[in-house]
């Protein structure tokens, strides 16, 4: 039996899922099997959008697999990494029985998907130390085992904390939870980090899954393209649970264009610029009056504590700058998250905060 199958909900282990018209391996030149229009919409010049898309567009799946260094069969393309989170929780967690472990303050979709599935939520808070926030992997292991968790979500780099988790720690946790839980490493901001991807651990640890997205570093947020990478048996199960036609043809075309050699070269240049600007913005904010602490970050954002977070938030808004208010999150009652923008945008952030202090 597969190492992953025992972790799947018992009622879904033999689940075949919905078989769409495009999932059948049929050939012909007159397609009358999906109740599609025989005519194109006038807005669709090439007429490609009148047909349902392939559930997993082969060219896009192959290009993403090449980008992430995995086999196409180990990767499922979906509606951003948000869909992957939801699929994992629904496929593995029996409602009211199988828990998920999260590490607040962290991305809220893990808890949302748990709530929708009726999966108990186990929180193991990040530890706020001298070097920034860090995941307590030993406490996570103990919580996962004692609370019968099926999924452990590790956001690395963490949103909003900005900290990354060493691969050795992820591997050790996966080893301790083998046969009991899947360790999901959310690398939405992985392109901005210093270390290698957790995909390098997949061969040795079948109970690791990795989430990636084109929304951040690749600047394709509106295309809604994300992937889950993992054990091929897990990917098969998740695809069976996925709603039909997850990747619209225009989105797949846009993603492929963005992942061309020229597109990737530009992406690498942008990533390098963001990393330089991240350092510059951190230094400038650390010297700004009213800033209590700026956390080091491996993402494209900075978590900042203020002596008057409300005043800072309002001052930025008055200057036309919108940042993320984190004050409702655990441990972050005085914090804002500021995305690293263009050099000009970052200058506006610095000027607005310095002007606030000078006015005071």
pLDDT digits (tens, 9 = 90+) for 185-219: 999 999 999 999 999 999 999 999 999 999 999 99
> pLDDT above 90 covers what percent of the chain?
88
- pLDDT above 60 (res 105): yes
Looking at the structure, do residues 235 and 334 belong to the same domain, yes or no?
no
Q: For 15, how many CA atoms within 13 A lie in the half-sphere containing its CB?
A: 21
Beta strands 208-213 and 182-186: pairing type? parallel
- pLDDT above 80 (res 270): yes
Average pLDDT, the chain: 95
pLDDT class of 359 with cuts at 50, 70, 90? low
Q: pTM of the predicted model, to two decimals?
A: 0.95
User: What is the C-alpha separation between 92 and 102, in angstroms, rounded?
Assistant: 16
- pLDDT above 90 (res 48): no
Looking at the structure, do residues 163 and 267 belong to the same domain, yes or no?
no
Looking at the structure, do residues 267 and 244 belong to the same domain, yes or no?
no
Q: What is the CATH number of the domain that holds 34?
A: 3.40.640.10
User: What is the C-alpha separation between 129 and 226, in angstroms, rounded?
Assistant: 32
Looking at the structure, do residues 281 and 233 belong to the same domain, yes or no?
no
What is the average per-residue pLDDT within 147-173? 98
Cα of 77 vs its chain's centroid, Å: 13
Looking at the structure, do residues 72 and 192 belong to the same domain, yes or no?
yes
Which one of 243, 259, 275 terminates a domain? 259
Looking at the structure, do residues 228 and 293 belong to the same domain, yes or no?
no
Looking at the structure, do residues 123 and 81 belong to the same domain, yes or no?
yes
Which one of 210, 236, 259 terminates a domain? 259
Which one of 238, 259, 280 terminates a domain? 259
Looking at the structure, do residues 105 and 226 belong to the same domain, yes or no?
yes
Question: What pLDDT does 194 receive?
Answer: 96
pLDDT digits (tens, 9 = 90+) for 320-333: 999 999 999 999 99
Question: What pLDDT does 357 receive?
Answer: 62
Looking at the structure, do residues 37 and 146 belong to the same domain, yes or no?
yes
pLDDT class of 29 with cuts at 50, 70, 90? confident
Range of 186's domain? 5-259
Looking at the structure, do residues 103 and 206 belong to the same domain, yes or no?
yes
Q: What is the CATH number of the domain that holds 284?
A: 3.90.1150.10
Q: Which two tokens stand for residue 145?
A: 């085992």
Looking at the structure, do residues 47 and 34 belong to the same domain, yes or no?
yes
Q: Structurally, how many domains does the chain consist of?
A: 2
Question: What pLDDT does 358 receive?
Answer: 63
Q: Which two tokens stand for residue 338?
A: 């500021």
């Amino acid at each position: 039996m597969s190492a992953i199958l025992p972790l799947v909900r018992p009622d879904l282990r033999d689940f075949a899922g919905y078989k769409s018209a495009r999932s059948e391996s049929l050939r012909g030149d007159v397609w009358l099997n999906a109740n599609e229009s025989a005519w194109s919409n006038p807005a669709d010049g090439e007429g490609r959008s009148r047909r349902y898309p392939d559930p997993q567009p082969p060219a896009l799946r192959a290009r993403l697999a090449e980008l992430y260094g995995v086999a196409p069969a180990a990767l499922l393309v979906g509606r951003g990494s948000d869909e992957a989170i939801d699929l994992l929780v629904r496929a593995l967690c029996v409602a009211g029985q199988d828990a998920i472990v999260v590490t607040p303050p962290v991305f809220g979709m893990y808890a949302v998907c748990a709530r929708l599935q009726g999966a108990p939520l186990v929180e193991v808070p990040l530890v706020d130390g001298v070097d920034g926030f860090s995941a307590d992997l030993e406490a996570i292991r103990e919580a996962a085992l004692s609370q019968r968790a099926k999924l452990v979500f590790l956001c690395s780099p963490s949103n909003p904390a900005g900290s990354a988790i060493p691969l050795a720690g992820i591997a050790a946790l996966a080893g301790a939870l083998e046969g009991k839980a899947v360790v999901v490493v959310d690398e939405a901001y992985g392109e901005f980090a210093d270390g290698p991807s957790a995909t390098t651990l997949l061969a040795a640890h079948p109970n690791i899954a990795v989430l990636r997205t084109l929304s951040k570093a690749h600047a394709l947020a509106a295309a809604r393209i994300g992937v889950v990478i993992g054990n091929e048996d897990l990917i098969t199960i998740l695809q069976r649970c996925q709603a039909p036609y997850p990747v619209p043809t225009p989105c797949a075309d846009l993603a492929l264009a963005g992942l061309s050699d020229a597109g990737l070269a530009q992406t690498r240049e942008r990533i390098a610029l963001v990393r330089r600007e991240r350092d510059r913005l951190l230094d400038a904010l650390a010297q700004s009056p009213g800033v209590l602490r700026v956390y080091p970050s491996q993402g494209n954002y900075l978590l900042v504590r203020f002596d008057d977070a409300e005043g800072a938030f309002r001052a930025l808004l008055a200057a036309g700058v919108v940042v993320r208010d984190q004050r409702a999150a655990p441990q972050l009652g005085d914090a804002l998250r500021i995305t690293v923008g263009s050099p000009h945008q970052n200058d506006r952030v610095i000027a607005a905060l310095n002007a606030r202090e000078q006015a005071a």
